[in-house]
Chain A
Amino acid sequence: MMIEIIDIKSSLRVKIWVQAIWSVMASFIGVQSNTNRERDFEHGRFSVFVVAGLLMTLIFLLSVYGLVQLVMMYVQ
């Protein structure tokens, strides 16, 4: 019984994070469905979005850097 509750809790936590990351990615390209927006504002946690935002920004920067390096390699 106890284990089951922990499982539900941890899967819920994963779900919250996945949703937050998706929402941050959607915000990067300026596209979000109304349903998801309402869900985020009703159930989302501010801190989760801040962390997800910072994380995705870092990933974005690294991918731009990587892309430039790749192009430079291709060019030279």
Chain B
Amino acid sequence: MSKAFTLALSLLSTPALADWQLNMNEGVTALSREIFDLHMLIFWICVVIGVAVFGVMFYSIFKFRKSKGAVAEHWHENTTVEVFWTVVPSIILIAMAVPATATLMDMYDTSEADVDIQITGYQWKWRYQYLDEDIDFFSNLSTPREEIVNESTKNPNYLLEVDNALVIPANKKVRFLVTANDVIHSWWVPHFAVKKDAIPGFINEAWVKVEEPGVYRGQCTELCGKDHGFMPVVVEVKSEADYEQWVADQKAMKLAMADEASKDLSMDELIAKGEGVYQAACSGCHQPNGQGIPGAFPAITGSAIATGAIDAHIDIIVNGKTGTAMQAFKEQLSAVDIAAVVTYQRNALGNTVGDMVQPSAIQK
């Protein structure tokens, strides 16, 4: 007895138990707390009903058991009871709809937002466009491949880290316009209590007003293909001043990128840069070693395109190939990135074509 007690105590005090949180998050916004409170209210109503219904049921089963000589009664109907158990749940449902409607109306009130951001789901990355700021970037998974294939220890944010996080200001109402480019995705950040389907051709709206700066993580939550589990969401909430600085930095970076695109790079520079671009943008399908997946994704090594005419090679990366999984990368990659990855694919992964292309030659 005392052994079992000690075991139970030690289990309860194990920190691992904290990971076994089954309830939803309270979140970090006024709205998420409102949703949490509603959830708890409905939960307790369900608990009370459950205890009452099962209590009566189990009591009846026990009290009127066969071994005590209970004999089943044969009767056809009891209209009073039937009306009671139909009308009472209806009243409970209507009563629950009142606070639920209040919360839903808050959730759908996307008016008077300070910042508007379009979120587009791609296979398998997110694109963030700041509608008032001319800021537009893609957010790719940044977990190293070694961790994914169990060659190194997984970090705490394993598969929940990206190269470019979505940055939003604290204490401002931020409106998200959620859509998709290829298949249905769903943008989900549990701490914001925001989970919105991203559907091609539709724009769904959500909003958030976070009080505290911090980093909040989420995932795609609509099965969207091979790398569905590899397109996380990371949102960095900055103080207002930091956010303004970030916006200024992004604009300066854009100018610098345009400047870089007009410069010529050496073969080595292009290949070095191209390797990073390849691993981030291409290796998901064509595989890190360029061998592809036979029957699904063609190999880059020895491919007719990657070893053939360079213009056709550039074209398939810029415009994609209709009817296949090959996307158009003109909006996802800069001219420098495209020039680098084309040069890399032609002169690495087992290919030795020997030619290269400069960013200035990429027509998007």
Contact = CB atoms under 8 A, between A and B. Distances in A.
Interface stretch (A8-16, A25-33, A39-47, A49-57): A25-33
Contact of A67 (B94, B102, B105): B94
A68 B94 CA distance: 10
B82 interface: yes
Interface in A50-76: 67-68, 71-72, 74-76
A30 B86 contact: yes
Nearest to B100: A71
A5 B358 CA distance: 105
Nearest to B84: A31
A30 B82 CA distance: 9
A55 B70 CA distance: 47
Contacts of B77: 33-34
A34 B82 contact: no
A34 B289 CA distance: 75
Interface residues of B, number: 14
| A interface, size bucket | 10 to 19
Tell which of A31, A67, A68, A74 has the most Cβ of chain B within 10 Å: A31
B3 interface: no
Given A29-B83, A29-B86, A71 B76 contact: no
Contacts of B157: none
Given A29-B86, A30-B86, A31-B86, A74 B79 contact: no
A75 B79 contact: no
Given A74-B98, A75-B102, A31 B76 contact: no
Interface string B74-117: 00110100110011001000100110011001000000000000
Given A29-B86, A71-B98, A75-B98, 7 more contacts: A32-B79, A33-B77, A67-B94, A68-B101, A74-B102, A75-B102, A75-B105
14 contacts: A29-B90, A31-B79, A31-B83, A31-B86, A33-B77, A33-B79, A67-B94, A71-B97, A72-B105, A75-B98, A75-B101, A75-B102, A75-B105, A76-B105
